Chains A and B, each alone.
Chain A
């Protein structure tokens, strides 16, 4: 009798568990069936009167029913929990395209970016990065670079003169002499070549228009060692420019006059736009004038405290402003120091 009662109870409870629509309804079923005062407990209590062998059979059935019902109950509970979680997740929908709060990141000036890029490139090649003052003595800016007073080469660089015979440096070249004096003994006497760059702000007394500025940026470079040749300089410049332009470049040297080098060169690169046949960018010549360079004049080596009979070197001047303008196709140089965020935020 108990056996069939248990069976029907179990069947009935299974059906009610399946039919429970809320966690509360399910809990009511659990209390009613599995609770301390529930139906199963009642059957269990009724078992005491049974003979031992029957008790054993019923006891086993009772345990089986209890296990099954508990499993069904847990499964149902889990499905409620899963439904609740997924409902919550759905309710937590976000418009991920809304703007993020807080300030937008700022930007570095394009000249800073190109300068840092070049500093990294040169440093990876073993170059020291040096600084020189923007206000220089007439001597450092000119005389020490083999441009004495009344030399017509002074016309090549319109100069801002300051009180006390100081000048705003017209080029980064004065750092050549400062660099040789500072690093020369340390490196060269130990048989290590001196390789240095000096990026910085330079000044020329020029009216400002879309292609002329009185304030612009150069990067001076110099290598000094015992046997430095034009062939070495060519290799260095070619490697350097290939990395700057991120593609193979063809270079050519032609005579150029700069008193602090001898021989002096203008270095042209084959036009990157047309590749040589000629186009408006290269004025149909196939070549674009890029930078002045040359073997360091012995007088300048002497000014830097080095013996030109022992040492030689090459030097070059890269126009950073020009590079920036080339890279980003900027058509008006005045933007660079105009402080206009509409321009600066593009970089």
Chain B
């Protein structure tokens, strides 16, 4: 929302605070001001001037040389390209030194003629968008342009006005300014201008919830033309396009009072009644923007007996629009239900200046004020008008706004500083609250109608009113009471933190990937798109699913980084989102880590396995059936305490060039398993004996399985079983391998005799041989 400083000063006539100071004060006490822009600086030096002569410069050029009478500035020569530049007209003359937004005017030679300044179009002056020709004025040469002056625009962040329907017009902001600067506020509205005669139009309102108030007035003898320049300039400066006098007045009232208005061409209406009703199914309306809208009963419309003439609170209809030949109008000034306007405007994707205001919950009391102001303005710029009949006004009974009880001790406790009852009263009264002291230190506060629609209803709201006006800078920080018990523990976060440190120490760099996935990537990985939770309004199609796995994210990281590095390790800890019938999805935390090597040699499988063993000490790998993206001979489940806690696999060569091994650990499972209870075992005091054994077997026999068998046969005296090496090749037959282990045997209570050790060894050998293994000793 843009506020004109001049406009505010019109409503706070004694305001002397400079625009930049005002901006700071407004930011600290009312709403966030994002910028201050000077506009119309050129009006400081631009004067009216009469064109005396016009002569061509050279054939074929539209530029002409004009002599002008600029009053006290004397006669000047300027080059002007406007077709309407002709002797006799009075126009705007910007002498050298005049500052415009983009350039400063200087004396310069144009087509061989020295131009002593510039004659200006309305667009150049920032009055409207009219570039066709120079402005034509009714003014005395040499005098400043009538009612056009340099101004400052204060830009206020709309988000910070979300709760303040009253601040969507200058008068509301002027009230704040008046309270902040302790200057009197001038009300631009004279309610007496609206006659109370019987109305010339009927209103039939079907839904007082959606339309709490509808006010209208018929006016005749209207002549549609451009608004005077001052009015156009004012609208243009705050970002509204001037259109024609009647439309401009509705916009002016909206920008001043925050009350959106609409004007219908009365002669284009069917019947003598305005209906406020829900749209019928499949009803259509062509709006002022030329679009045709398909309506449902969810939308409220304004209709005549032939059909909708406006979408309530959003936009007017094209058929009843004001045109050049309009002479009789109906001014509509109504109040619509915020949520309904918002829903309609969202559904039709049509946000207008009106809908933006109504969705903030406008004050129903403002409708007739808007009409009164519109009548005053129309009288001023279109003196021949005639008001037909009196005010048509249909309103729901005003809502009860209960008074708020405000106790001084409570207020002081919330603020955290002292304040006197007199100060509280004067602040609230400056903001138009009604204040009565119902007991010692107890106020009964009534809320003005324009703050009562949604903004203020509880005493906490008053803390803000008082706090911001005394200035939060006047509150001295005070230490709060602090907790005296250790904070609630969060073991999961602790575990994740330790895990991150561990994995990073193993050489892995941490990445953060998005929670989104494209259907294409899901399909690429063989994940069914329908298994994923869908985003209904994704920014782009590659973010339409919630990730069910961290693997695709890391896969992309591998592709990207392989362009720059020959080898690397990376990991992520994040959530998999699993949809669940009838409740919020399961968010399962996972750790995924990858080791990449560009070389195609053996690959980093065991580097990745080592990480798995660091994370899950004592885990076992069990070869598993590969998914599409997994290497069919290099994929395993990771078992921990017998449970499937994760997966390790090398990427299928179709997915990664080079070799990349990925470990994916379900931290939810790990958390549920927890750490095993540890129990001390006395340190053995007697020496142990060791011997080596080599098991000859088929190449694809799992070493892990051999180990298990050896353990079984070794019995309880086996203290350690260490893998030494494996060997393939001569003299072993093709397809065979030899796996060597060192076995350490010991007893707790004595030194084993060589016979005892031999017995264990023989037992293993015979046991293994009986299972078909060949043993080399």
A contact residues vs B (CB 8 Å cutoff)? 103-109, 111-112, 116, 119, 123, 125-131, 133-137, 149-153, 155-156, 160-163, 166, 168, 183, 186-187, 190, 192-196, 201, 203, 205-208, 214-215, 223, 225, 227-232, 234-236, 238, 252-257, 259, 262-266, 295, 297-298, 312, 336-342, 344-345
How far is A297 from B487 in the complex, measured between Cα atoms in Å?
Answer: 24
Residue B338 at the A interface, CB < 8 A?
A: yes
Residue B202 at the A interface, CB < 8 A?
A: no
Residues in chain B near residue A106, CB distance under 8 A: 503-510, 569-571
Residues in chain A near residue B507, CB distance under 8 A: 103-106
How far is A196 from B570 in the complex, measured between Cα atoms in Å?
Answer: 32
Convert B469-487 into 0s and 1s, putting 1 for each residue whose CB lies closer than 8 angstroms to a CB of A.
0001101111111111111
Known: A162-B546, A262-B464. A234 touches B500 (CB 8 A): no
Known: A107-B504, A128-B490, A229-B413. A162 touches B483 (CB 8 A): no
Residue B196 at the A interface, CB < 8 A?
A: no
Contact assessment for A229 and B464 in the assembled complex, using a CB-CB cutoff below 8 Å = no
Residues in chain B near residue A341, CB distance under 8 A: 509, 561, 564-565, 568, 570
Contact assessment for A265 and B584 in the assembled complex, using a CB-CB cutoff below 8 Å = no
Contact assessment for A298 and B458 in the assembled complex, using a CB-CB cutoff below 8 Å = yes
Contact assessment for B513 and A262 in the assembled complex, using a CB-CB cutoff below 8 Å = no
Contact assessment for B159 and A263 in the assembled complex, using a CB-CB cutoff below 8 Å = no
Residue B6 at the A interface, CB < 8 A?
A: no
Contact of A263 among B464, B503, B515 (CB under 8 A): B464
Convert B668-710 into 0s and 1s, putting 1 for each residue whose CB lies closer than 8 angstroms to a CB of A.
0000000000000000000000000000000000000000000
Known: A263-B468, A336-B512, A337-B513. A149 touches B339 (CB 8 A): yes
Residue B297 at the A interface, CB < 8 A?
A: no
Residue B108 at the A interface, CB < 8 A?
A: no
Residues in chain A near residue B480, CB distance under 8 A: 193, 223, 225, 228, 232, 235-236
Q: How large is the interface on B (under 10, 10 to 19, 20 to 34, 35 or more residues)?
A: 35 or more
Instruction: Return the chain B residue nearest A313 by Cβ.
Output: B480
Residues in chain A near residue B484, CB distance under 8 A: 126, 192
Residues in chain B near residue A131, CB distance under 8 A: 490, 492-493
Contact of B163 among A149, A195, A257 (CB under 8 A): A257
Could you say which of B26-34, B299-307, B385-393 contacts chain A?
B26-34
Min distance, Cβ B133 to any Cβ of chain A, angstroms? 39
A-B contact pairs, 30 of them (CB 8 A): A103-B506, A105-B505, A108-B504, A126-B482, A133-B587, A135-B585, A149-B339, A150-B342, A156-B162, A166-B584, A215-B515, A229-B415, A230-B472, A232-B479, A234-B475, A235-B477, A238-B477, A254-B32, A254-B472, A255-B468, A257-B164, A259-B163, A262-B464, A263-B464, A263-B468, A336-B512, A339-B513, A339-B560, A340-B560, A342-B564
SS of A interface (majority): mixed
Contact assessment for B162 and A344 in the assembled complex, using a CB-CB cutoff below 8 Å = no
Contact assessment for B467 and A263 in the assembled complex, using a CB-CB cutoff below 8 Å = yes
Could you say which of B39-47, B183-191, B529-537, B743-751 contacts chain A?
B529-537
How far is A137 from B580 in the complex, measured between Cα atoms in Å?
Answer: 13
Residues in chain A near residue B539, CB distance under 8 A: 205-208, 214
Residue B414 at the A interface, CB < 8 A?
A: yes
How far is A85 from B512 in the complex, measured between Cα atoms in Å?
Answer: 55
How far is A336 from B342 in the complex, measured between Cα atoms in Å?
Answer: 36
How far is A137 from B416 in the complex, measured between Cα atoms in Å?
Answer: 36
How far is A251 from B459 in the complex, measured between Cα atoms in Å?
Answer: 26
Contact assessment for A263 and B460 in the assembled complex, using a CB-CB cutoff below 8 Å = yes
Residues in chain B near residue A337, CB distance under 8 A: 512-514
Instruction: Return the chain A residue nearest B543 by Cβ.
Output: A214
Contact of B510 among A107, A135, A152, A230 (CB under 8 A): A107
Contact assessment for B414 and A235 in the assembled complex, using a CB-CB cutoff below 8 Å = no
Contact of B343 among A112, A150, A265 (CB under 8 A): A150
Instruction: Return the chain A residue nearest B485 by Cβ.
Output: A192
Contact assessment for B493 and A129 in the assembled complex, using a CB-CB cutoff below 8 Å = yes
| Given A263-B460, A341-B564, 12 further pairs, Cβ under 8 A | A105-B507, A116-B497, A133-B585, A134-B515, A195-B483, A230-B463, A231-B476, A256-B160, A257-B160, A263-B468, A336-B512, A341-B509
Residues in chain A near residue B461, CB distance under 8 A: 262-263
Residues in chain A near residue B503, CB distance under 8 A: 106
Min distance, Cβ A168 to any Cβ of chain B, angstroms? 7
Instruction: Return the chain B residue nearest A125 by Cβ.
Output: B482
Residues in chain A near residue B557, CB distance under 8 A: 339
Convert B46-77 into 0s and 1s, putting 1 for each residue whose CB lies closer than 8 angstroms to a CB of A.
00000000000000000000000000000000
How far is A129 from B489 in the complex, measured between Cα atoms in Å?
Answer: 8
Instruction: Return the chain B residue nearest A286 by Cβ.
Output: B24
Min distance, Cβ A130 to any Cβ of chain B, angstroms? 7
Min distance, Cβ B255 to any Cβ of chain A, angstroms? 19
Instruction: Return the chain A residue nearest B161 by Cβ.
Output: A257
Contact assessment for B472 and A265 in the assembled complex, using a CB-CB cutoff below 8 Å = yes
Residues in chain A near residue B584, CB distance under 8 A: 133, 135-137, 166
Residue B495 at the A interface, CB < 8 A?
A: no
Known: A107-B510, A265-B472. A162 touches B534 (CB 8 A): yes
B contact residues vs A (CB 8 Å cutoff)? 27-32, 159-164, 338-340, 342-343, 359-360, 413-417, 458, 460-461, 463-464, 467-468, 472-473, 475-488, 490, 492-493, 497, 500-501, 503-515, 533-539, 543, 546, 553, 556-557, 560-561, 564-565, 568-571, 575, 577, 579, 584-585, 587, 607
- Top-9 shortest CB links A-B: A231-B416, A229-B416, A103-B507, A263-B464, A150-B339, A235-B477, A126-B483, A128-B488, A232-B480
Known: A106-B505, A192-B484, A337-B512. A231 touches B477 (CB 8 A): yes
Instruction: Return the chain B residue nearest A336 by Cβ.
Output: B512
Instruction: Return the chain B residue nearest A195 by Cβ.
Output: B483
Max count, chain A CB within 10 A of own CB: residue among B479, B509, B513, B564: B509
How far is A312 from B504 in the complex, measured between Cα atoms in Å?
Answer: 42
Max count, chain A CB within 10 A of own CB: residue among B32, B480, B568, B569: B480
How far is A84 from B559 in the complex, measured between Cα atoms in Å?
Answer: 57
Contact assessment for B490 and A129 in the assembled complex, using a CB-CB cutoff below 8 Å = yes
How far is A228 from B553 in the complex, measured between Cα atoms in Å?
Answer: 45
Instruction: Return the chain B residue nearest A314 by Cβ.
Output: B480
Min distance, Cβ A77 to any Cβ of chain B, angstroms? 38
Residues in chain B near residue A127, CB distance under 8 A: 483, 487
Contact of A231 among B164, B417, B515, B543 (CB under 8 A): B417
Residues in chain B near residue A295, CB distance under 8 A: 414, 460, 463
Instruction: Return the chain A residue nearest B459 by Cβ.
Output: A298
How far is A111 from B511 in the complex, measured between Cα atoms in Å?
Answer: 10
Known: A131-B490, A254-B28, A342-B564. A230 touches B467 (CB 8 A): yes
Residues in chain A near residue B458, CB distance under 8 A: 262, 298
Residues in chain A near residue B481, CB distance under 8 A: 193, 225
Contact assessment for A130 and B472 in the assembled complex, using a CB-CB cutoff below 8 Å = no
How far is A192 from B560 in the complex, measured between Cα atoms in Å?
Answer: 51
Known: A130-B490, A152-B359. A105 touches B561 (CB 8 A): no
Contact assessment for A161 and B482 in the assembled complex, using a CB-CB cutoff below 8 Å = no
Known: A162-B534, A257-B159. A135 touches B483 (CB 8 A): no
How far is A222 from B416 in the complex, measured between Cα atoms in Å?
Answer: 18
How far is A340 from B511 in the complex, measured between Cα atoms in Å?
Answer: 8
Instruction: Return the chain B residue nearest A163 by Cβ.
Output: B534
Residues in chain B near residue A340, CB distance under 8 A: 560-561
Residues in chain A near residue B585, CB distance under 8 A: 133, 135, 166
Contact assessment for B556 and A339 in the assembled complex, using a CB-CB cutoff below 8 Å = yes
Instruction: Return the chain A residue nearest B472 by Cβ.
Output: A253
Instruction: Return the chain A residue nearest B553 by Cβ.
Output: A339
Residues in chain A near residue B569, CB distance under 8 A: 103, 106
Min distance, Cβ A202 to any Cβ of chain B, angstroms? 11
Contact assessment for A201 and B515 in the assembled complex, using a CB-CB cutoff below 8 Å = yes
Contact assessment for B472 and A161 in the assembled complex, using a CB-CB cutoff below 8 Å = no
Contact assessment for A235 and B339 in the assembled complex, using a CB-CB cutoff below 8 Å = no
How far is A205 from B473 in the complex, measured between Cα atoms in Å?
Answer: 35
Instruction: Return the chain B residue nearest A154 by Cβ.
Output: B342
How far is A223 from B479 in the complex, measured between Cα atoms in Å?
Answer: 12
Max count, chain B CB within 10 A of own CB: residue among A111, A127, A187, A234: A234
Contact assessment for A339 and B546 in the assembled complex, using a CB-CB cutoff below 8 Å = no
